[in-house]
Amino acid sequence: MNVETVIANVRSISETLNRRLVFMEVCGTHTVSAFRTGLRSLLPDNVSLLSGPGCPVCVTPTGYLDQAIAIARQPGTVIATFGDMLRVPGTESALEKERATGADIRMVYSPMDALNMAKAEPEKTVVFLGVGFETTTPTIAWTIKEACEQGLKNYYVLSAHKTIPEAMMALVSAGDVKLDGFLCPGHVSVITGSEAYKPVCAECGIPCVVAGFEAYDMARGIEMLGKQQMEGKAEVEVEYTRSVTAGGNVEAQKLCVDVFDKSDTEWRGFGVIPQSGLSIADKYNDVDAAIKFKGLEVPEAEDHSACRCGDVLRGICLPPDCPMFGKTCTPSDPVGACMVSSEGSCSAYYKYGQ
């Protein structure tokens, strides 16, 4: 089977159902892949893909950036972060601007690089920006445990870790969008296992298919969601069988349970979603940047008043619906987080046209 055959099946499903079908790709990597591979343009007119809240940088709220900026201004502090965070605007500044005026902010590829930095420079306080979903969380958990076991006194993590199924359920229960299925994130599911979406199916009555990232994978995922609609089912299925099992990566899960506690956390566009965050467990307090820098003064968070990132993340509007899209907001001069991250919907729409 090839992509064209699968797309033909999707077309016949949509014709049989004789209505518009809306599927949400939860993951930012899917969003980009659907554009890059041309999949979006192959889909029949009455089948549409809507981007969801699956870009970790995009959903990190402004208040977190403000906190990171305040920490970056402390003498002797190094902020280590994945690259995309640098350009996300805070209320009054951005990490990139702070770096230009002398703050020590370094991009890393892996949280292990940040840990090694702390080891190599014991006179510095290294703070890693712990942003990411289930895929990334275990890698940071590993550095937290390692720092404690090695007795490192200068490595900290500012955790904004989030979990995807809770956001999917919050999105559905807000009732703003009507979805016919979720294309679930491939690499989040490598860790969580496909079982993690069972509550989404059960509570929201929406089919879930975990898909890989090639055009073929995503098309197959859409076909499987369509079939479930035809059969009136709402179940979890896996298309990305080369990576995803029902139970996920147990070693990684165990470590995350040890290092983090579930907590309520704020998502850009959603506000606080109960039990959708991971804060560092008490026994690792010594590594928790939120505790270490508790007294720091941080400005009251404020978003750019006209930026519609929040609505984009909830699938309420598309990037081109934002009056600033492509005009005052572009990837080289972004106003909102969804234009900064290469996985953000606004950036994907801008780059690949619409």
Residue 138 interface partner, choices ligand SF4, other proteins, none, CB cut-off 5-8 Å depending on type: other proteins
Q: Are 234 and 35 in contact (CB under 8 A)?
A: no
Does residue number 243 form part of the binding site for other proteins (CB under 8 A)? yes
Residue 310 Cβ vs ligand SF4, minimum distance, rounded to whole Å: 8
Q: Which of 348, 268, 340 is nearest to 81 (CA)?
A: 340
Residue 109 interface partner, choices other proteins, ligand SF4, none, CB cut-off 5-8 Å depending on type: other proteins
Does residue number 336 form part of the binding site for ligand SF4 (CB under 6 A)? yes
Q: Token pair for residue 7?
A: 């797309």
**CA–CA gap between residue 120 and residue 161 (Å, rounded):** 26
* Residue 188 DSSP SS3: helix
Does residue number 319 form part of the binding site for ligand SF4 (CB under 6 A)? yes
Residue 243 Cβ vs other proteins, minimum distance, rounded to whole Å: 5
Does residue number 144 form part of the binding site for ligand SF4 (CB under 6 A)? no
One of 40, 161, 162, 187 touching other proteins (CB under 8 A): 187
Given the rule CB under 8 A, which of 40-48, 99-107, 110-118, 221-229 is the region that contacts other proteins? 110-118
Does residue number 27 form part of the binding site for other proteins (CB under 8 A)? yes
Does residue number 109 form part of the binding site for other proteins (CB under 8 A)? yes
Q: Are 231 and 240 in contact (CB under 8 A)?
A: no
One of 309, 313, 318, 348 touching ligand SF4 (CB under 6 A): 309
Does residue number 68 form part of the binding site for ligand SF4 (CB under 6 A)? no
Does residue number 335 form part of the binding site for ligand SF4 (CB under 6 A)? yes
Q: Which is nearer to other proteins, 110 or 330 (CB)?
A: 110
**CA–CA gap between residue 99 and residue 81 (Å, rounded):** 12
Q: Which residues in the 269-308 window bind ligand SF4 by CB under 6 A?
A: 307-308
Number of residues that bind other proteins (CB under 8 A): 41
Three-state secondary structure string covering 288-313: EHHHHCCCCCCCCCCCCCCCCHHHHH
Identify the DSSP state of 49: E
Residue 307 interface partner, choices other proteins, ligand SF4, none, CB cut-off 5-8 Å depending on type: ligand SF4
One of 154, 229, 341, 347 touching other proteins (CB under 8 A): 341
**CA–CA gap between residue 331 and residue 340 (Å, rounded):** 6
- Helix ranges, the chain (H): 3-17, 28-36, 39-42, 56-59, 62-72, 95-100, 111-120, 137-149, 164-174, 186-192, 198-204, 215-231, 250-259, 289-292, 309-313, 337-340, 345-352
Number of residues that bind ligand SF4 (CB under 6 A): 14
Residue 97 Cβ vs ligand SF4, minimum distance, rounded to whole Å: 18
Residue 162 interface partner, choices ligand SF4, other proteins, none, CB cut-off 5-8 Å depending on type: none
Does residue number 166 form part of the binding site for other proteins (CB under 8 A)? no
**CA–CA gap between residue 231 and residue 134 (Å, rounded):** 31
Q: Which of 212, 204, 135, 138 is nearest to 168 (CA)?
A: 204
Instruction: Select the residue whose beta carbon is closest to ligand SF4 and give its number.
Output: 336
Q: Are 330 and 338 in contact (CB under 8 A)?
A: no
Q: Which residues contact 52 (CB under 8 A, 6 or more apart)?
A: 24, 25, 26, 27, 167, 168, 171, 182, 313, 315
User: Which spans of this chain sit near other proteins (rule: CB under 8 A)?
Assistant: 1-2, 27-29, 54-57, 82, 84, 109-113, 131-133, 135-136, 138-139, 142, 185-188, 190-191, 214, 216-217, 242-243, 249, 251-252, 255, 341, 343
